[in-house]
């Protein structure tokens, strides 16, 4: 058995705290995580009217163009390595705003299309409920795509695109609300018949990361604040009022070796050992 220096900490055994894989722990080799940023297209007139779009080729409306233009500025700052898009106009038009800022080509992929709605396409939610009450109860268009088919198609597309990229790459995929949600659910092992992840807003995005063949959700429905805040708060406004800091909850005994947390309003004292 190898000897250790006096006072050295023995390596953790499997299953013990500190062992590799025993807990969440800090991020390791974060730069090697392959990331897919799944960006939902901007608003269309049918979105505003709550109509089922499916494979119908509906373009962006004025609001959708502005959403795409504004959001593309934020995504361009992430320096993506590739841009993919559904071949439907509302997605391709959204992707073009990012392509202009990055100089990257838009690679169209039919497998990133929205769920096909058959005879439901073009109908409002209330019209579907009235004309197809039985199918509406389970949200299954009689001549459209099932959630399983859409999950198969879109998850396979994400896997195929990820396999074509280098580790550490970031690709932006412009797609559609149901298509993105079902693809993520399949890759994350979540149920597809019951929605676990909340819906994506127009021009919002989610980020999936893959490392060592395993997928996880890094962000979901990000970018919604861009629609909810008209202008950022200026520095003078942010500093105009004093900040009140409150301590809530029961007192916690500090862990051995940890630095005690200062109470609100208290001044820091000398560091242990007299160092300042």
219: annotated active-site residue: no
Cα-Cα-Cα-Cα dihedral sign, residues 126, 132, 138, 140: negative
Q: Please say whether the beta carbons of 74 and 224 come within 8 A.
A: no
User: Strand pairing partners for 150?
Assistant: none
Residue that the structure tokens 């080729």 belong to: 57
Residue carrying the six token digits 């861009």 = 226
Q: Annotated catalytic residue: which of 114, 121, 145, 192?
A: 114
For residue 106, what are the CA distances in angstroms to 31, 172, 236, 237?
Answer: 24, 10, 41, 41
- Residue pair 167/199 in contact by the 8 Å Cβ criterion: no
Q: Which of 5, 16, 27, 41 is catalytic?
A: 41
Check if 50 is active-site. no
- Which positions are catalytic? 41, 114
């Amino acid at each position: 058995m190898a000897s250790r220096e006096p006072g050295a900490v023995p390596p953790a055994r499997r299953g013990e705290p500190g062992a590799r894989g025993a807990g969440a722990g800090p991020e390791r080799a974060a730069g090697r995580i392959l990331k897919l940023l799944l960006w939902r297209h901007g608003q269309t007139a049918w979105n505003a009217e709550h109509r089922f779009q499916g494979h119908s080729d509906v373009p962006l409306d004025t609001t959708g163009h502005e959403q795409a233009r504004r959001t593309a500025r934020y995504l361009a700052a992430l320096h993506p390595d590739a841009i993919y898009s559904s071949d439907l106009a509302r997605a391709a038009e959204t992707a073009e705003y990012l392509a202009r800022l990055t100089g990257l080509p838009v690679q169209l992929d039919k497998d990133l299309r929205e769920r096909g709605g058959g005879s439901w396409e073009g109908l409002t939610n209330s019209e579907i409920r009235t004309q197809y009450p039985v199918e509406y109860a389970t949200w299954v268009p009689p001549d459209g795509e099932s959630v399983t088919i859409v999950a198969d198609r879109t998850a396979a597309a994400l896997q195929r695109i990820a396999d074509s990229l280098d580790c550490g790459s970031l690709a932006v995929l412009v797609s559609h609300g149901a298509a993105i949600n079902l693809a993520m659910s399949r890759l994350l092992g979540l149920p597809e018949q019951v929605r676990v992840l909340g819906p994506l807003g127009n021009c919002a995005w989610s980020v999936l990361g893959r490392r060592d063949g395993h997928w996880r959700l890094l962000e979901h429905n990000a970018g919604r604040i861009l629609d909810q805040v008209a202008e950022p708060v200026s520095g003078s406004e942010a500093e105009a009022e004093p900040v009140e800091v409150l301590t809530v909850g029961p007192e916690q005994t500090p862990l051995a070796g940890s630095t005690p947390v200062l109470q609100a309003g208290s001044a820091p004292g000398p560091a242990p050992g007299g160092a300042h």
